Copies of this chain bind each other. A is one copy, B any other.
Amino acid sequence: MAASPGSTSEGRRSTRQRSTVRELVSESEAFLSAQEIHHILRGRGETIGLSTVYRNLQTLADDDVIDTLRNEDGEVLYRQCGPLHHHHLVCRSCGKVEEIKGPAVERWADRAAEEHGFTDVSHTVEIFGLCPACQAR
């Protein structure tokens, strides 16, 4: 992961909306889009604007509180930063996600980057397929 020297979390006020967003992201296993987060919170009766959701997700990502990922449709997805780095095995049909650890890939990626003289390396790996349940259907 990239180092983030200039932490921007200095003058952040704690508001109900920010807490609500952070909590939802924390309690969720899956990656959520901003739209989904807004929809869920509204469904719970929370009062929060879509732009506020976007702005909070951005600041949370800036502060390295949450991880971001882009799905195949170009939507940005958000999730709490996990303690361990891992990757995702995603079902193309039902969207089910399996987490997979892959120390081998980490090493491979770092080495490949190093061989080309790259530093400050990060990587994304996503595996797509058809899960057992969806094959049966």
Contacts and interface: CB of A to CB of B under 8 A. Distances in A.
A30 interface: no
A2 B91 CA distance: 13
A130 interface: yes
Q: How many copies does the complex hold?
A: 2
B128 A116 contact: no
A126 B123 contact: yes
A109 interface: yes
Contact of A117 (B76, B127, B128, B131): B131
Contacts of A98: 116, 118
Given A89-B113, A91-B118, A123-B127, 4 more contacts: A102-B112, A105-B108, A113-B127, A123-B126
